[in-house]
Structure 1
């Protein structure tokens, strides 16, 4: 099979890898940054990358000159790039994997390779266990222990499921391709993607059509396909270049679409319970349909028909985990007004070039407005976060002036004055109250000293919530999926204090965070704790992360009324203040 052309996600991945390889070579920062910038530009494209290449229009994109345009064109059309292959050949193949370890940058990786000949994670682990790393300048015994912890976390993540946020763009691209196939009636993802699980294994897609072959061919020849695993009369399986992701497509008659979609969406535990209920009522439920005991087939147009047949409320895909949704649906007590993306009026938690963001305030404002949002909460890092360009108090006040200018320049949209203030080890906030009192939104987050024990970390958050200036706790458990475990915390105590003090909890939509996670969202909702869904946007391309925050909130049974930024800007600000004044 000839190499397939690459889509924008796969091309961006190669460009980022080139950036890392150039850093290993010691190239200047300007040249390195050009590849990262180009990757960002491609990921933010709403146009078809293949069409831009065919029409020779790549250089119309900001930051992409002739040289980069030629490299991107080569990648898109041939599936590989000679320059990339040459760079990879200059280093051990395992060096890039070493760069995936927590806190492992190019300078450290190169020092390990040059001094110890370490060119793989396995070699690095052995060098740490032999005590050889501590002998290198800039490393020590603590460094060895930290590297070993990072290797253990990395190894747990390898071979495991992929982040939903990494998989969804590929899935959406394939769905659009399948929808355009003549004769296709319905198309949908199934499995963990449709249930909006935090992580995804293989991807299941379903389509209905009178003839399966055209849709199967469309997947087999889709951009970004690396390997055709197999293709039969009704199923095609491929492996994508991006993320080494397996995608399975099933095509069936439209009359069987709803029951097949329900079956392949899962979860298994939900289905076992549902089939048992059906059996008790004289029905057999399977991917091939719903049949009565006498063998006659019950017409099922959509999934809601299945639940209605069993005397239940419809259960949205995100809730199908056998965590009480079946009992609630049987009793008619399942929430029917779960938050939707369309309910969200403004994005909470964003950064600009004032701290560690990549775009200006005006660029962020215009991009958020283009997404249909009414406001964006500007929450740069505070002064203790030196590593992230945290703002001194005077910088913060100067930023307010720019926010006022942008609000005049972008009619029909509003930037809110906020901060993501560091919660210090004692629970104190990283600005004086007299400064925080002037802000419209104050998010408090923990960014350092994650190693405190459970009691210390819990008390740290409890102390922070006693400050009346604090509105929201940001990414409350500090986790990074596959990269960093959540810090130890008594979540029940934290949520009880939040309910008592009127502190709002963030549902962070960054794909590697999704923090609060769904089970904690549900705990918060049960206590009457209000939520915000956030993008944690450090660049324009991050703003759509709201979809993941909303999905997590839905999985936690959050209704529209539970989420404060479903309200217009003025009402949102008043609601935050009213929470603290209770």
Structure 2
């Protein structure tokens, strides 16, 4: 079988670009959404795309009709899609980038293009600085300022650092290939990926083997490698096709594995602290081992042994940021029961086809069960979220009936009846209390009017938490990493009020959110606020976002007892209610 010319990520990006161009052209929403759904379907494939195309099975995929299948097949087999090229030729080449700026939709882009001839980010920036954009209907001085902020965010996103969620799957696949190489004793990811930082610049893999050559070859010949940047006796560096990502593999003798892994995991600040502690004890710590001043090399079988030499507790990778972990480990006060994925019994925050999700309730239930989860909270959008298919009360009650049917049909998995209710501008919740009191799980989130000032936004959230039927505050700061700054909010006031009112706080695992961030997780635990780790799932594949929420929880020093959905379903619900 001939390998496909383009990969799944490229196909998905082309389909999303078509959707944007159709919106710009004024096509109806159903047509553009079909391409977005097609992109989601392609990205979610677990089978080889080339095989599906060559065997003519594209049309068997839900949401992929004959016309779309033909376009995808052309792109996969030839590297081109005539329809996309013809559509793109109707617009300036930089117009797609304008569509990807925060808070600028198709109508605004169309106005900027038709009225001012703006066809690129650079032209838009110049027009804003010259004060020409504010003259257009629907814009103003504030709009210009927000557009300039959005351009800055867009450019940062196009920089070297990438979302953890975009990089980790690639890194883990390469790690498995390295581990399967002949002679490999141990192998691990290193760097910011291992520390589960929100964004990463590259991937480090550390391996041990008696002979390095075959291991280095395994990386150099991995699927998806665009270029081999360099290959020596112990190191190989490649650039991946997906995301222009650099991957560095180092292969060492096994006796040096632990110290090399620690060194290349970082952070630099944490490692400097340990080197200084070693120096005080007459030891030199480096990637090549731990040596006494007289040159004697000490045996270090694993990272725990390295920390033991310094009279410290082992510090998990997620905590190695020189943020108090060294002092805590030296005093024996570092948490030893940080939450893990194995601790989590249920997933919080999921959408289905009842609102803006891609999968049915039964499909979501089966996917959650396959992951070993015991329950899943179904939290569609509320009525005010018209843009996301928010449910009217009558539809919500019909959904409860379907949830009951699915719970009978999928033994061992329980769907909980919930809602992600909008926090309105006044701080009121979108449904009456008589509706909210009938739900098992109520998450409240802000989705619109992000432009309020700090005092207004803080008061809005504080007021929402006073509602006795609110259980969980959803993605509290509203940020989208590299795309949208958090809205102005006094987070310490929010967390203190959550502790007072018994409201739990979400750690949203969607890779573009990771909201709340680790520093607020730590503050929440210090205040006694209970947390939930959530997936914010809009399709069954998104259930995997739980792992990113757990990673963020660990970076914030959260223990198992701090996270409510480590409890069985009934105890979870009891704990939510007990807080109120």
| Counterparts of residues 81-100 of structure 1 (less than 5 Å) | 84=84, 87-100=87-100
Q: Find the aligned partners of 2:554 and 2:328 in 1 and give their Cα distance.
A: 15
Q: Which residue in 2 is equivalent to 1:63?
A: 63
Q: Do 1:6 and 1:224's aligned partners in 2 also have CA atoms closer than 8 Å?
A: no
**1:5–1:224 Cα contact (<8 Å) kept:** no
- Matched residue, 2:543: 543
Structure 1 residue aligned with 2:375: 375
How big is the shift at 1:303?
Answer: 1.2
Per mean C-alpha deviation after superposition, the further-off stretch among 314-323 and 402-411 is: 402-411
TM-score, structure 2 as length reference:
0.93
Aligned to 1:161: 161
Q: 1:63 to 1:86 in 2, by over 3 A?
A: same
Q: Distance in 2 between matches of 1:386 and 1:154?
A: 27
2:364 matched residue in structure 1: 364
Alignment match, 2:505: 505
Is the Cα–Cα contact under 8 Å of residues 427 and 463 in structure 2 kept in the other structure? yes
- Superposed, 1:66-465 pairs within 5 Å as 72=72, 84=84, 87-134=87-134, 139=139, 143-465=143-465
Deviation of the 1:36 alpha carbon = 2.6
Summarize the Cα distance change of 1:55–1:295 in structure 2 as closer, same or farther, 3 Å threshold: farther
Structure 1 range deviating more: 391-400 or 221-230: 221-230
2: CA distance, partners of 1:328 / 1:311:
12
Residue 48 of structure 1: CA displacement? 4.0
Superposed CA offset, 1:210-267 (max 9, x none): 2222232332232322333222222222222222222222222222221111101000
Aligned-partner Cα distance in 2 for 1:329–1:67: 60
Instruction: Provide the C-alpha distance between the structure 1 equivalents of 2:335 and 2:529, rounded to a whole number of angstroms.
Output: 17
1:34 CA displacement: 4.2
Tell me, yes or no, if the aligned pair for 2:237 and 2:247 is still in contact at 8 Å.
yes
d(CA) in 2 for partners of 1:239, 1:15: 24
- Larger mean Cα displacement after TM superposition, 153-162 or 232-241: 153-162
Query: Are the structure 2 counterparts of residues 76 and 301 from structure 1 closer, same or farther at C-alpha, using a change threshold of 3 Å?
Result: farther
Query: Please, which moves more after superposition, 281-290 or 63-72?
Result: 63-72
After TM superposition, the structure 1 stretch with the greater mean CA deviation from structure 2, 357-366 or 190-199, is: 357-366
Give the deviation of 1:24 after TM superposition: 4.3
Aligned equivalent of 1:520: 520
Task: Note closer, same or farther for the CA distance 1:254–1:27 as it changes in structure 2 (3 Å cut).
Answer: farther
Residue 39 (structure 1) shift? 2.4
**Aligned residues of 1:383 and 1:390 also touching (Cα < 8 A):** yes
- 2:184 counterpart SS class: coil
Task: Name the CA distance, whole Å, in 2 between partners of 1:221 and 1:78.
Answer: 23
**1:295 shift after superposition:** 1.2
Tell which deviates more after alignment, 187-196 or 90-99.
90-99
Q: CA offsets per residue over residues 108-167 of structure 1, 9 Å max, x none?
A: 334433443322101112223344445556555554444333223323433152111111
Q: Which runs of 5+ in 2 are unaligned?
A: none
Name the counterpart of 2:41. 41
Query: Deviation digits for residues 70-106 of structure 1, max 9, x if unmatched?
Result: 6556655676666655554554331221121012234
The 10-residue stretch of structure 1 (15-24 or 91-100) with the greater mean CA deviation from structure 2:
15-24
- Residue deviations 1:465-489 (CA, integer Å, cap 9, x gap): 2221111111111111111111222
Q: Indicate how the Cα distance of structure 1 residues 260 and 242 shifts in structure 2: closer, same or farther if over 3 A, else same.
A: same
Residue 73 to residue 310, structure 1, CA distance change in 2 (3 Å): farther
Q: What secondary structure is seen at the aligned counterpart in 1 of 2:523? A: helix
Q: Does 1:471 align with 2:468?
A: no
For residues 50 and 349 of structure 1, what CA distance do their matches in structure 2 show?
Answer: 34
Contact 1:4 1:226 in 2 (8 A): no
Three-state SS of the structure 2 residue aligned to 1:185 is strand
Work out whether residues 4 and 50 of structure 2, in 8 Å CA contact, stay in contact via their aligned partners in 1: no
Report the CA distance between 1:65 and its aligned residue.
5.3
Task: Judge conservation of contact 2:208–2:257 (CA < 8 Å) in 1.
Answer: yes
Cα 1:333–1:64 change in 2 (3 A) is same
CA contact (8 A) 1:161 1:201 kept: yes
Cα distance, 1:194 vs structure 2 = 0.5
- Paired position in structure 2 for 1:20: 20
Query: 1:67 offset after TM fit, Å?
Result: 6.0
Q: Give the aligned partner of residue 577 of structure 1.
A: 577
What is the CA-CA distance between 1:201 and the residue it aligns to? 1.0
- Do structure 1's residue 565 and structure 2's residue 533 form an aligned pair? no
- Tell me by how many angstroms 1:178 deviates: 2.2
Shift of 1:198: 0.6
DSSP 3-state at the match of 1:238: strand
Aligned pair count reads: 578
Q: Deviations over 1:26-53 (max 9, x none)?
A: 5665654444333222322333445545
Q: Distance in 1 between matches of 2:15 and 2:482?
A: 23
RMSD after superposition: 2.5
CA distance in 2, matches of 1:550, 1:270: 22
TM-score, normalised via structure 1 length: 0.93
